[in-house]
Amino acid sequence: MADPELVDVVVVGLGVGGEEVAGRLAEAGLSVVGVERDLVGGECPYWGCVPSKMMIRAANAIAEARRVDGLAGSVEVRPDWAPVARRIREEATDTWDDTVAVQRFTGKGGRFVRGAARLDGPGRVRVGERVFQARHGIVLGTGTRPSVPPVDGLADTPYWTNRQAIEVEELPESLLVLGGGAIGLELAQVFARFGVRVTVVEALDRVLAVEEPEASEVAAAALRADGVEIHTGVRAERVSHDGQGFTLRGAGGAEFTADRLLVVTGRRAHLDELGLDTVGVDAGRRYLTVDDRLHVTEGIWAVGDVTGEGAFTHVAMYQAGIVVADVLDHARRADAGADPSGTASATGGAAGSGAGGSARAVPRADYRALPRVTFTDPEVGAVGLTEHQARERGVNVQVGLARLPSSARGWIHKAGNEGFVKLVADADEGVLIGATSVGPAGGEVLSALVVAVHAAVPLARLRQMIYAYPTFHRAIEDALRDMS
Ligand SMILES: Cc1cc2nc3c(=O)[nH]c(=O)nc-3n(C[C@H](O)[C@H](O)[C@H](O)COP(=O)(O)OP(=O)(O)OC[C@H]3O[C@@H](n4cnc5c(N)ncnc54)[C@H](O)[C@@H]3O)c2cc1C
């Protein structure tokens, strides 16, 4: 075995979170090895956010064109998947080639290693025959992979995950979507708008089950209007493929058939692959347990989906900022011979200033105002707690709701104006603790609500604000009025 190579930091997994951490630490002057077994950039640019939003942009253009009828004359729409597939191939993913992303990282001074990494004892990372000894720390940004339910027969069929759905060049005539969460609904609506006969099968009693029930209703109605069949409360029991198409049998005997089956029933971290036992960390959990500075254990940090704090690119980026600040703080302390345990940084103690700023500057993760957007049409934006979550926590809840079609802007907008703003307040504190914004610009309207929850803006102050007329976000004022 080769002698370990001594470096400052090893980052395992260069997805959104890992690439950000590795690049910024390298730019700060540390010697950083970044290890990636697949494509630098991870799921988001190649099989996630970016290509799926390109698909959605195209599908929404079709839907908007169809709304010309009754508003502005008539348009004949002939959907064609070829430009969408080409855009994903050429503009988004470089035909799933990460050369540019690797150069982006090495251009910042990082050292890139392609391969699957495992921890190999404290401070050590093994990639094949190579072993790296990290002086200042190891960052795990290994993400998640699709979680496929143990449905009888499913594993033996050529089902799709998000990867095949994003890479598709020719659309099937029909598609079964197993899973009515955000990704399932986004893709179901896209394919339906391009003429695919889509059926969504969801085990829970409503789609988008983590969001407000009113959001589930609006989203389901919108997809049905696009021709999507939605079956909720159906647990898949058996899947078969006869060489031509799929048959899915649900509990209770319901049967669904289609040319293709897309499985989008959640995602899972694969902790068992990381050698966590060699550093005394339990690999039997669903996600890596981290503290509010993303520490896993002495000398190891985690970032992104693998932490289970929210499977979103913006969470990975947010956490990356904290990890970078904390690793630099530790490195500075270690180089200065000060308390490398980090205890002092928690109390704003001994460190001087350096690349990472003062110890007091290391922020702590706070997910109270975590925003999430499902990019269906209408978009479903949400922040903080739902009404149900707030009640379960024993909060003295106050709720307000305003429907967009009865707002001035919604009425003007007409076709495609479905949506609402729902506010969840802590009546004792007089602040919002959650909000949902569904509508043509639901994700954008959400930003005001995120500020309100994040900064705990008093309800009285929100009521005194001036909301521009006639915007969709004026529904926030209407919902506040509904609350009082
Ligand atoms: C279809 C779809 C649409 C999405 N849309 C959105 C959206 O609109 N907005 C949003 O915020 N989020 C969206 N997401 C979620 C987003 O993609 C993830 O939250 C984000 O990619 C997480 O980044 P990450 O760095 O934690 O993990 P990943 O992007 O999964 O990257 C982890 C990397 O680690 C590598 N790796 C794993 N193990 C090892 C190992 N042992 N050695 C070396 N390398 C390893 C993997 O190959 C991978 O490249 C979407 C996801 C999907 C699937």
Q: Residue 226 and residue 197: Cα distance in Å, rounded? A: 10
CB-neighbour burial class of residue 78 (10 A; exposed 0-12, middle 13-18, buried 19+)? exposed
Encoded tokens for 317: 């980026």
Q: Position of tokens 């789609």?
A: 207
CB neighbour list of residue 86: distance below 8 Å, 6 or more residues apart: none
* Per-residue pLDDT, 354: 39
Q: Residue 87 and residue 101: Cα distance in Å, rounded? A: 18
Q: What is the pLDDT of residues 27-37, one digit of tens each?
A: 999 999 999 99
Within 6 A (CB) of ligand 1 lie 12-13, 15-18, 35-39, 42-44, 48-49, 52-53, 116-117, 141-144, 162, 183, 273, 304-306, 311-314, 316, 375
pLDDT at 320 over 80: yes
Residue of 20, 37, 44, 319 best suited for mutating to test ligand 1, as the one with most atoms within 8 Å of CB: 44
Encoded tokens for 280: 């005394």
DSSP state of 149: P
Sheet of 260-263: strands edge to edge? 229-231, 197-201, 174-178, 260-263
- Which atom of ligand 1 is found nearest the CA of 375? 8
Q: What is the pLDDT of residues 163-209, one digit of tens each?
A: 999 999 999 999 999 999 999 999 999 999 999 999 999 999 999 99
CB neighbour list of residue 219: distance below 8 Å, 6 or more residues apart: 185, 207, 208, 374, 376, 378, 380, 438
> What is the arithmetic mean of pLDDT over 210-219?
98
CA distances from 380 to 70, 177, 422, 479 (A): 26, 19, 11, 16
Ligand 1 centroid to 479 CA: how many Å? 35
Ligand 1 centroid to 31 CA: how many Å? 24
Sheet of 371-374: strands edge to edge? 371-374, 379-384, 431-439, 420-426, 397-403
- Which stretches does DSSP call E strand in 77-202? 111-114, 117-119, 124-127, 130-140, 145-146, 174-178, 197-201
Ligand 1 centroid to 23 CA: how many Å? 17
- Which atom of ligand 1 is found nearest the CA of 166? 1
Q: pTM value?
A: 0.95
* Per-residue pLDDT, 408: 97
Ligand 1 centroid to 448 CA: how many Å? 27
- Which atom of ligand 1 is found nearest the CA of 310? 19
Ligand 1 centroid to 305 CA: how many Å? 7
**Shortest CA distance to 205 belongs to which of 182, 233, 175, 241?**
233
344 — pLDDT class (breaks 50, 70, 90): very low
* Per-residue pLDDT, 122: 97
Q: What is the pLDDT of residues 254-277, one digit of tens each?
A: 999 999 999 999 999 999 999 999
Q: Per-residue DSSP letters for 42-60?
A: -HHHHHSHHHHHHHHHHHH
- Which atom of ligand 1 is found nearest the CA of 17? 25
* Per-residue pLDDT, 348: 34
* Per-residue pLDDT, 395: 98
Instruction: Give the end-to-end CA distance of the chain in Å, rounded to a whole number.
Output: 71
Residue of 105, 142, 161, 379 best suited for mutating to test ligand 1, as the one with most atoms within 8 Å of CB: 142
**Shortest CA distance to 275 belongs to which of 134, 116, 120?**
120
345 — pLDDT class (breaks 50, 70, 90): very low
> What is the arithmetic mean of pLDDT over 60-81?
97
CA distances from 77 to 53, 175, 416, 418 (A): 20, 22, 17, 22
Mean pLDDT of the chain: 95
**Who wins on pLDDT, 210 or 361?**
210
Q: Residue 264 and residue 474: Cα distance in Å, rounded? A: 35
> What is the arithmetic mean of pLDDT over 354-377?
81
CA distances from 118 to 34, 42, 127, 204, 329 (A): 13, 18, 7, 37, 25
* Per-residue pLDDT, 335: 87
pLDDT at 343 over 70: no
Q: Whose CA is nearest to atom 31 of ligand 1?
A: 15
Ligand 1 centroid to 267 CA: how many Å? 10
Residue of 20, 43, 164 best suited for mutating to test ligand 1, as the one with most atoms within 8 Å of CB: 43
- Which stretches does DSSP call E strand in 149-228? 174-178, 197-201
Determine the Cα angle at 106 with ends 352 and 15, to 5°: 85
- Which atom of ligand 1 is found nearest the CA of 18? 25
Q: Residue 470 and residue 24: Cα distance in Å, rounded? A: 42
Q: Whose CA is nearest to atom 37 of ligand 1?
A: 142
Q: Whose CA is nearest to atom 26 of ligand 1?
A: 304
Continuous segment of H or E residues that includes residue 425: strand 420-426
- Which atom of ligand 1 is found nearest the CA of 127? 42
For β-strands 145-146 and 267-268, DSSP reports them as antiparallel
